[in-house]
Structure 1
Amino acid sequence: MLTGDTNDEDVSLFDAEEDAGKRSKKNIKHPVASFFHLFFRVSATLVYLFCELVSGSFIASMVTIILLLSCDFWTVKGAGKQQTSDSESRIFWLGLIVCPVIWGIFAFSTLFSFKVKWMPVVIMGLVLQGANLYGYVRCKVGAKTSLKNMATNYFGRQFLKQTLSKEEES
């Protein structure tokens, strides 16, 4: 562990280390917020995947997906202000991270399958989900700490730990 570096901050996206005494570790304090956080995200994804099977209308599918993503954007904004348990924090961050990845996969699959009409919908999904993720990571890390510095510090620590553990084994 490095000493003397006072500006070095450990930031956990999952809140595992922070507020351990204040939070309940297993109970979900806000089941409705947790449900709707995932409901809107999963519903938008499912509508996108199965819209051509259920409805032949591109416009109805597009409007439904955009409304679900917008509801998710609003729900996540409200859910982030509440005091949560560790379980809720993990649900929140996993949903926040996994969904933009899924919409990114949709973007590549739409591009390579030449379904150009779906590209605006997929881009909107990627932008809304990515904006949520970016906003909450920035809030969590803090406005003064850049993401690049956080990543550099994290990987530097991991390299130092590996190097020290290899020296101890020798």
Structure 2
Amino acid sequence: MLEPNQPRFDFSSPPPMQQQQQPSPSPAQFFPAQHSSTGGNAFYPSPAFGSGGVPPPAATAAAPQSDDRVYKGVHPVVALFHLAFKAGALLTFILGSLFSSSYVTVFVVTILFLAADFWTTKNVSGRLLVCLRWWNEVRDDGSTHWVFESAPDAEARVNAFDKWFFWITTGGNFLVWLLLAIFNLMSSRLPMTIVGAVLGGANFIGFLKCSRDAKKRVTQFMLERAAQQQGLVREAARAL
């Protein structure tokens, strides 16, 4: 028998509580949508498509770097001296009287520039820029003989810009001195123009003949190879 003031305890299991399922919070509750003037959610911006909702094309390969060199060939130092001596001779002839009143001084400096240009073009720049070389031999009987040399693989070794630069400057130099000789027929400076035209013309004509001789050799070589191939084909046909 229990006492009235003693608390009673109920050891029976209580009924199960019905748990109410609550929806999971969405990101919009924590990050409210902010609409921009262009449309779409500011927090989750839409991709920047082009007009009509078409995505832009994939990035193409990077464009090749442009060549900023002044001289596009492979022998810039040789080309510099090839042009410097020609320009020095012309500038001394045209502007020499402004710096010196002595005709002899202008004449000597001009001839020195012309001689340096002739030797450089004939023996250095012609051999490196176009793989050609020429000289003139005097035989015992007094006759002259042109001798031409060219690299066997000149077409593959010569740079296109080097070749263009060489022929433009060499031919242009000869033409300029020829015009100066015509304009100074009655002038005391005519001997300088004659020397310039003769030396420039010798180089231009010499390399022109050398180039033609080299092309003729290449053509002859190709014809010989073709004839050999035809002979081999005939022998193979006979063997069959």
For the aligned pair, the TM-score class normalised by the smaller chain equals: 0.5 to 0.7
Q: Which structure's CA Rg is the greater one?
A: 2
1:52 deviates by: 1.1
Equivalent residue for 2:117?
A: 72
Gaps of 5+ in 1: 1-25, 146-170
1:84 deviates by: 3.7
1:143 deviates by: 8.0
CA distance, structure 2, for counterparts of residue 85 and residue 75 of structure 1: 19
Q: Could you tell me the TM-score, scaled by structure 2's length? A: 0.46
Query: Which of 121, 133, 137 matches 2:204?
Result: 133
Equivalent residue for 1:90?
A: 164
CA distance, structure 1, for counterparts of residue 176 and residue 126 of structure 2: 22
What SS does structure 2 have at the residue aligned with 1:29?
coil
1:30 deviates by: 1.1
Equivalent residue for 1:102?
A: 176
Q: Could you tell me the TM-score, scaled by structure 1's length? A: 0.64
Equivalent residue runs for 1:3-82 within 5 Å: 27-77=72-122, 78-82=124-128
Contact kept? 1:27, 1:85, Cα under 8 Å:
no
Larger RCO, structures 1/2 (Cα 8 Å, 6+ apart): 1
CA distance, structure 2, for counterparts of residue 80 and residue 99 of structure 1: 14
Instruction: Give the counterpart letter for 2:92 in structure 1.
Output: V
Gaps of 5+ in 2: 1-70, 129-156, 217-240
Contact kept? 1:30, 1:84, Cα under 8 Å:
no
Contact kept? 1:104, 1:126, Cα under 8 Å:
yes
1:144 deviates by: 9.8
Identity of aligned residues (%): 33
Q: CA RMSD in A?
A: 1.8
Instruction: Give the counterpart letter for 2:213 in structure 1.
Output: G
Contact kept? 1:43, 1:68, Cα under 8 Å:
yes
What SS does structure 1 have at the residue aligned with 2:96?
helix
CA distance, structure 2, for counterparts of residue 122 and residue 71 of structure 1: 16
Q: Which runs of 4+ in 1 moved over 4 A?
A: none
Q: If each structure's strand is expressed as a fraction of its own residues, which one has the higher value?
A: 2
Equivalent residue for 1:167?
A: none
Deviation string for 1:38-74 (max 9, x for gaps)? Answer: 1111111111111111111111111111111111111
